[in-house]
Amino acid sequence: MNASQYPLSTTIRSRSRTRPRSAPSFYTSSSIVASGGLTIPSRGIGGHWIVKLPSRDFRRVPENEFSMMTLAKMVGIDVPAIDLVDVSSIKNLPEGIDHLGSKAFIIERFDRMDDRHSVHIEDFAQVFSVYPQSKYEKASYRSLARVIAAESGNADIAEFIRRATFNVLIGNGDMHLKNWSLIYRDRQHAELSPAYDFVSTIAYIPGDRSALTFSRSKEFSDYTMDELEHLAAKAALPRKLVLDTAEETVALFMQRWASEKGHLPMDKDVLTAIDKHLDTLPIVTT
């Protein structure tokens, strides 16, 4: 991929945030306020993409997101096409953007079909009729799991647990309601959409915790097999599927993390923060 294939001509706005958040990858407006950095919808020769530019508040967020999404794909999570490109290769950007960082993260939009017709997407803030400003306060993983189980099947339940577990392992405290979505590929049946917005926030916010309650707690260290059993029971999920998926995800993540962490473009501070974080998680250490 070459970002020069995706010429941009759009009005861009940005503002500071207190968290390294990313804008959802299915927005269609020509101007998006993105947390920490700039996010631009781009349509070019290669298809429809979201371009995420460097943050003025947090170091090397595009490199962080690319690394986490790459790891996610390695552990079997459904990840769209992604790339890390030079900011200098993207046309028509505001002057001075390159001073914030040299790389941009791009991700292929999954709300467009090959014939460029739109595919209906519904994030969980919409599912639960929650205003965006309440996306951290309403509902829980237990609530999300109930909907996924009712609307889809065991494959999506396993994918949900896989993503939940992965984001605990990387210390992503920003998996709020708008970062989980349903997709209606045939316009009738809902399934879990591809993954997006995976960033290790603990590198920027020491002591960060989950955006949503798992079943009883938001603390990463409380994401244990006991917590997952409680979630499975309350959400009426298959207990064995939930526990086996979590266990398999942890094992595969630890293998991939050990072999790949030194080769991914994340900042050294991100790598160190995740290493320290993993030592605090009972799901890893017991």
Q: Which of 174, 208, 222, 267 is catalytic?
A: 174
CB 192 within 8 A of CB 152: yes
Amino acid of residue 42: S
**For residue 127, which of 137, 119, 138 has the smallest C-alpha distance?**
138
**Residue holding tokens 């991939």?**
256
Give dist(CA 231, CA 247) in Å, integer. Answer: 15
φ, ψ (nearest 5 deg) of residue 237: -100, 155
174 is catalytic: yes
The residues, any chain, with a CB within 8 Å of residue 28's CB and separated by 6 or more, are 41, 111, 118
How far apart CA 12 and CA 262 sit, in angstroms, is: 34
Q: List active site positions.
A: 174
